[in-house]
Amino acid sequence: MVGLVSLVSTLLLASSIWALPAPPHGLPSPLKLPLPEPNHNLFCIVPFPVVQKLLCPRQGTSSPTTVSTPLGTAQGASDSDGAARFSVKYGSASRWQESSVVSSWALPNGATDPTALPLTCPQNTTADSTMSEDCLSMILYVPSSVKPGSNAPALLWIHGGSFIVGSATDPGLDGSALAAATESVVAVVQYRLGALGFMDPSGNTNLAVKDIVTALQFLQKVLPSFGGDTSKITLAGQSSGANMIRALLAVPSAESLFQSAILQSDTMDYGLLNMSIQETLQDFFNSQINCDSTDTECLTNLSLDDILYASQTLSDDGGDISAAAGLAEPIRPVKDGSFITSPLDSTAPFPHVSKPIILSTVLNEAMPTIYSEFTDPIDSSTYTDVVNITFGTPRTERILTTAVYEVPQQTAEGTTADARPQLSNLGTDQVWRCPTWTFARNWVQNGGQVFVGLYVVGATYPGNDLIPQCLEDGAVCHQDDIEIVFGTVPSPNTAQVALTKEMQARYSSFLRTGNPNTDSFATWTPATTDDVHPLLLGGSGEASVGQCTTSYWGDFVQYDYQVFDI
């Protein structure tokens, strides 16, 4: 069983589709998800006109536009819909040094064409010609309705990708429609990935998280020039982008830089790393690059290929190096005690909080991983083995004696039912839904307001179309909420159009007031410590509680961050 799971995990990693983290005892597991998103940056950087038109930031323009800012003249372009796009370098950083806000406005990567898209941050799934270490860039989308003096809100979107892939040019992240619908300035940002963002050989952690702080500081300088209000900045992101926001919510020095947050599909079960785990991973990475941590010349002269190879090795072997780190996201934010001061989970006292937040998950978060891992039906014996490998003792016994997770029984015909749906539901509850609801209760109990949602309508994200189960009616897989929010669904159906309209209206209200309710849609009741009131997004009413109770996940069956005390 271990050999099969390890082999499939290796194949999936090699294809840059999914990576699986490690369970207790360091064994690979299909339930320790999360999902590094398929990387399609190459489609947006090099000329694939059909793909660019459907998925990527618009590159055709109708007219140039300029805006005077304190950092100089911003060069952008207006598209046929009247939204202006500004690609810009927001920060500078030498290799493994903290970033700082640029002193003057500049197009990314020395470009002279204002329609040029930024090169991605270095990552193993992208061609050398489409990436650069000089990658601290963002794309600003400003609708024609927002002008200097408008005091419009702003939304800063942080892309996902398990901290090792992704960019501001990922599929579906064209912010024009979202900016126009919400009458806000939308900024889509990129940040250093992998070892370059988290594994400074000298031990300085969280460089990528600090990049987002630099991006926020940049917005503080330039937003008024575009009609934006610096007191109304909301952070939003999906998957590891949401994880990044959770880390920023625990950064006291960033408190004044944004007013609210939207976290979509955060893998909260894993928790932030602690310094002990980080130091173990750091030692391993340093051993791979053959440079002393104080040898500046050696570190400077390391080839990018060597760094990416060492970073990938760390990502692949993370669960063997430290079981608590896991294979999927061993490279992630670290509670270092000075910059990030709280784990924001149940392993330590939760700090007093005040920001309003939205927390959402989708119906079938774990489906892509489970059905990629197991392309054929699995029987009850395999199901039991997978649960045991994933959870160990005593969690396995407790899970398998719970009705909704128990071993599937034989069908009327005498054959064992396919256990993959059971496994998918268990993974969704473990990694996403239930820890998100626990986080919501903690947030409310300690002073904040939170609105919880569950997407039951989505739009198949590129990559998920390779998984037949994600194409079935009613399935909403991890990432299938992205194009709904951005309004970039190709050929949307009636339900998708309606949900896009609703979510953009709710986000518009939330950006301004911290409350996603509008007169046009059903009341979204804020969570309490007893009832999180999870609104069905695309459906009607609230989601059933299931096993996401205070007495089950986090108590009777502990989360990973509790098991590993991270």
pLDDT of residue 62: 52
274 neighbors 334 (Cβ within 8 angstroms): yes
Q: Tell me, what amino acid is at 472?
A: E
pLDDT of residue 24: 33
529 neighbors 241 (Cβ within 8 angstroms): no
Work out the number of other CB atoms within 10 angstroms of the CB of residue 539.
16
- Under the banding of pLDDT at 50, 70 and 90, the label for residue 326 is confident
- Closest by alpha carbon to 238, among 264, 204, 201? 264
The arrangement of secondary structure in 2-341, i.e. its CATH architecture, is: 3-Layer(aba) Sandwich (3.40)
Active site residue 87: no
- Does residue 472 carry a pLDDT above 90? yes
Cα dihedral sign, 65-68-69-71 = positive
DSSP 101-119: E-SS---GGG---TTPPPP
Report yes or no on whether pTM surpasses 0.95: no
Q: How far apart are CA 416 and CA 176, in angstroms?
A: 50
Q: Bridge-partner residues for 410, per DSSP? A: 416
- Under the banding of pLDDT at 50, 70 and 90, the label for residue 83 is confident
pLDDT of residue 57: 65
pLDDT of residue 328: 78
- Does residue 116 carry a pLDDT above 70? yes
Residues in the chain: 566
Percentages of the chain per state (helix, strand, coil), in multiples of 5: 35, 15, 50
- Under the banding of pLDDT at 50, 70 and 90, the label for residue 8 is very low
Q: What is the pLDDT of residues 249-280, one digit of tens each?
A: 999 999 999 999 999 999 999 999 999 999 99
Share of the chain above pLDDT 90, in %: 83
Residue environment code for 325-353, b if the CB has 16+ CB neighbours within 10 A, otherwise e: bbbbbbbbbbbbeebbebbbbbbeebeeb
H/E stretch holding 74 reads: strand 72-78
From the list 29, 99, 184, 239, the catalytic residue is: 239
Q: Which residue bears the tokens 């309606």?
A: 498
- Closest by alpha carbon to 206, among 312, 336, 294, 311? 336
- Does residue 309 carry a pLDDT above 70? yes
- Under the banding of pLDDT at 50, 70 and 90, the label for residue 407 is confident
- Under the banding of pLDDT at 50, 70 and 90, the label for residue 9 is very low
- Every domain of the chain and the residues it spans: 2-341
More confident residue, 77 or 80: 77
